[in-house]
Chains A and B, each alone.
Chain A
């Protein structure tokens, strides 16, 4: 396929938001083993919860499809998405997934966030690094975040 075809095949507006595109490039530039190390860096970067959620774990929603307890909470402020997540230290893979989703969606408009392809987790080179089964946990996390964003936006 020529480059021109590739461009014409792309859906208008199907381009990934910059943060997610950059995360994708960063992973795909690495060999499989180094992708695990990068995932670990994301895991370590998952920020602590804002105090108002740390004090109220009941406000967070557990993603039951994930292998380890991971909780996410999205807010929509002025049409922009804020996403908070927490997962235990002994589940670094899940923390890494949550960190990617949080960094990738945070600050997007509702429309941009909802347009993120559901199969994004399968496109960043992690399937072979962590296994197809494990990547489903990240797909579930993205799906849950988008559902929350849809609900929050509809409630406004």
Chain B
């Protein structure tokens, strides 16, 4: 039972317009059966300060990441998480969050790994909803648990591992971190805590396109023409390319994955969630410093896909 798609003209030019909803659409559809609104923020307390009425909270650290192994939660845990939030496999999920939907896109990408069919982003996220003076509540919704069978997580389609990157050389890589992280002058985003990488720089041949370029000033996604100028003209991507995006822990590159796949229609886009915290500490992987991408080494091994 899928909720109708937002027919907003702005979205119709995107490859997958059904992946976005506008704040107007969401305001009209709140409370509709079959729709669950999920807030996913960088700040773990933001939901508690006020949220879209009826929305449920999901935290990328404490809910989606396994507490022991560096990986996402098990399929069993994922099923529990969604069940507790009143989500069934045929539920339409709309995710929104702070920071240009950075963490909302990350949650959407993880939901994609687990094969949830209908998951959308609120264009403009929390900031736009707030700027428009729309309703917030402090009330926690009373959620009736839904039946969510244990899904199968498929890591082969939208996720890349380090060996996949080594086998990918010669095809485009997009490094979505800040220019300072890319050129090697620092290993973390300006104003972010040290997450631990022993070396600085970027994966050879990666083009640097900081993730936030895809968002307009009001936090909504830029038009196809603007996105084409950034990713096709600027970073040299061409239709049919097999692309891997990475950042530091895979969150910012989830946002770029969303843009390349759902908005621009690149069919084969993977997010390397190990990203710089893995690559920058791995032994004997090639690294380039400075502002130039550098040459791609020969591809090593065979990608798992």
Residue positions of A touching B, CB distance < 8 A? 36-37, 39-40, 43, 62, 64-69, 89-94, 96, 128-131, 133-134, 136-137, 140
In the assembled complex, the CB of A30 is this many whole angstroms from the nearest CB of chain B, namely 15
In the bound complex, do residue B192 and residue A67 qualify as a contact, i.e. CB atoms below 8 Å apart? yes
B195 in the interface, Cβ–Cβ < 8 Å? yes
CA distance A91 to B42 in the complex (A): 9
Residue of A nearest to B130 (CB): A90
Residue of A nearest to B193 (CB): A136
In the bound complex, do residue A40 and residue B42 qualify as a contact, i.e. CB atoms below 8 Å apart? no
Residue of B nearest to A92 (CB): B45
In the bound complex, do residue A40 and residue B193 qualify as a contact, i.e. CB atoms below 8 Å apart? no
In the bound complex, do residue B49 and residue A92 qualify as a contact, i.e. CB atoms below 8 Å apart? yes
What DSSP secondary structure best describes chain B's contact surface? loop
**Hey, which chain A residues are within 8 Å of B193, CB to CB?**
65-67, 133, 136-137, 140
Interface size for B (C-beta < 8 A) is 19
**Hey, which chain B residues are within 8 Å of A90, CB to CB?**
43, 46, 98
In the assembled complex, the CB of B56 is this many whole angstroms from the nearest CB of chain A, namely 14
Contact residues of B between 189 and 209, Cβ < 8 Å to A: 190-195
Query: Which 7 residue pairs across A and B have the least CB separation, nearest first?
Result: A131-B61, A92-B45, A136-B193, A93-B45, A93-B43, A130-B44, A65-B193
Contact with A along B28-67 (1 / 0, CB 8 A): 0000000000000011111011000000000101100101
CA distance A104 to B151 in the complex (A): 46
In the bound complex, do residue A65 and residue B49 qualify as a contact, i.e. CB atoms below 8 Å apart? no
In the bound complex, do residue A67 and residue B191 qualify as a contact, i.e. CB atoms below 8 Å apart? yes
In the bound complex, do residue B49 and residue A130 qualify as a contact, i.e. CB atoms below 8 Å apart? no
CA distance A51 to B46 in the complex (A): 27
In the assembled complex, the CB of B222 is this many whole angstroms from the nearest CB of chain A, namely 23
In the bound complex, do residue A40 and residue B61 qualify as a contact, i.e. CB atoms below 8 Å apart? no
- Choose one: A91, A131, A140; the contact of B62 (CB below 8 Å): A131
In the bound complex, do residue B194 and residue A136 qualify as a contact, i.e. CB atoms below 8 Å apart? yes
